[in-house]
A and B are shown apart, each in its own frame.
Chain A
């Protein structure tokens, strides 16, 4: 396994092409925009090497029997599924931002089980290729970005019906050595500080969309790959310290747009190429595995938000007010409800034909649906408790200014027991954790709310519920018998 420092060193060897505001970023390491996201991802390496956390952060490879980072593991039982959720909560408590590595973890698990099913049905050898690739990832403890979401253009049209064929990643050429892919993947979490990306289709494909049913692994610095690092509401503050709020770990996962301009992929890294009937299975498995996570990581972030609200109430001198205590209890209740869902969908997991374990999909979708609401509510309560100054504070430069600083320190004072700087720092942390960028991640990350509702309708067995009601109401449930 890599240590934290070895992970960061390994990023220096990459020759990736990354742009921000028209400028090329020469090295991601130590770049003020990207370093916080690197620190966050590095935490996944740090905990794996710490005896306090290794029980969650490591696993035994079912391929080699070696001790590996859990982020490169294929779940073997429900205990693995539960430990994943606990691990995510643990790391999020330390970073209070996205540590990015779960996306590739889920992608590996989804592609692992789907390639097995494909090979059984079609006689292909994708699963063997995936196993070899997985061994390479485990051996080198690589960070893999999970690349599913395409730009999608007109959402009412299928990939092959789009005006521009590149709005979904597709195969443009096949030869005896491999394939060439073109298109782009959007909102790519942790991509610029990963080693590899695992491409998956974004939706279930039909026969016309065969070229779009593609899954493959690509190094993030492969020829033809261009990344555009995304803006965040506070990105210019990354050049300050206090004003960032969470200077060490940033906000969300440092997302980017990744363009694939005719990128060659050798056959041994291709895990789906035209088998459109399996694209739906792959998407559904990835979605469930990814939705499972959110009551882990978001519970961890909410633990910090709750702690920040409690501290702020104390700094403001209102911590003894009964409505404040009640609101903090509500924050904890909402947080633990999210966690319960993630634990439940893991405990109710099942085995897939490949032998891998898989969360309960119905409950997994409930997790994510709740996250699209509870996080907004938790953050709303935090805003209520913290007060308006989290949105209107003057800058760190004014705070530290030799002549002007005295005014800020005088008028932003709270309870006498605490320093103005502590109150200022906590306000910035709250602003960072509960602001727009973080909220949108809870809404759309792992799929927009409607995507989960569609799954609930499909899996919730409504006819059974109707029958239950009819039976109790004394209504004949078998209509044929009645006739």
Chain B
């Protein structure tokens, strides 16, 4: 039996004064993981993991009501731990794979 793909709900902050390019981060993630997981919009489907992409440290993206695991990128942090820009995509992928 084929295993159901994990669904990830994606939510961006409003990107008013970005420090990092969250669209680029998402596109690279999508390219690398599209066979393994399904990416959906945060507000029109159910999902297993919520991914918040905030492009500055204020991290003002409003959190929808969700009781599962959340991964948050805000500027160069992942779940509030400092990382470097170069590490963002790789660490994100690792985090997602750990939840599969």
A residues contacting B by CB (< 8 A) are 51-57, 67, 79, 82-83, 86-87, 89-90, 93, 303, 339
Contacts and interface: CB of A to CB of B under 8 A. Distances in A.
Interface string B10-32: 11111111000011000000000
A56 B58 CA distance: 13
A86 B12 contact: no
Interface in B64-89: none
Nearest to A90: B16
A11 B25 CA distance: 37
A51 B14 contact: no
Contacts of A303: 17
A52 B22 contact: yes
Interface in B32-87: 41, 43, 60-62
Contacts, number: 47
Contact of A53 (B15, B43, B60, B62): B15
A90 to B, nearest CB: 4
A55 B17 contact: no
Contacts of B61: 55
Interface of B: 10-17, 22-23, 41, 43, 60-62
B74 to A, nearest CB: 13
A53 B14 contact: yes
Contacts of B12: 51-55
B53 to A, nearest CB: 9
B13 to A, nearest CB: 5
Contact of A86 (B17, B23, B43, B62): B17
B60 A83 contact: yes
A51 B17 CA distance: 16
A55 B62 contact: yes
Contacts of B14: 52-57, 83, 86-87, 90
Contact of B13 (A55, A79, A93): A55
Given A56-B13, A89-B16, 6 more contacts: A53-B15, A87-B14, A87-B16, A90-B17, A93-B16, A339-B17
B9 to A, nearest CB: 11
A82 B60 CA distance: 10
Given A86-B17, A86-B60, A90-B16, A52 B11 contact: no
A90 B15 CA distance: 7
A339 B61 CA distance: 19
Contacts of A67: 43
Contacts of A79: 60, 62
Contacts of A86: 14, 16-17, 60
Nearest to A56: B14
B10 A51 contact: yes
A466 B64 CA distance: 49
22 contacts: A51-B41, A52-B12, A52-B22, A52-B23, A53-B15, A54-B14, A55-B13, A55-B14, A55-B61, A55-B62, A56-B14, A56-B15, A56-B16, A82-B60, A86-B14, A86-B16, A86-B17, A86-B60, A90-B14, A90-B15, A90-B16, A303-B17
A67 B14 CA distance: 15
Contacts of B13: 55-56
A210 B2 CA distance: 75
A402 to B, nearest CB: 41
A339 B10 CA distance: 28
Contacts of A89: 16-17
Closest 8 pairs between A and B when the two form their complex, measured CB to CB: A56-B14, A86-B16, A90-B16, A55-B14, A89-B16, A52-B12, A55-B61, A53-B14
A86 B13 CA distance: 11
Contacts of A53: 12, 14-15
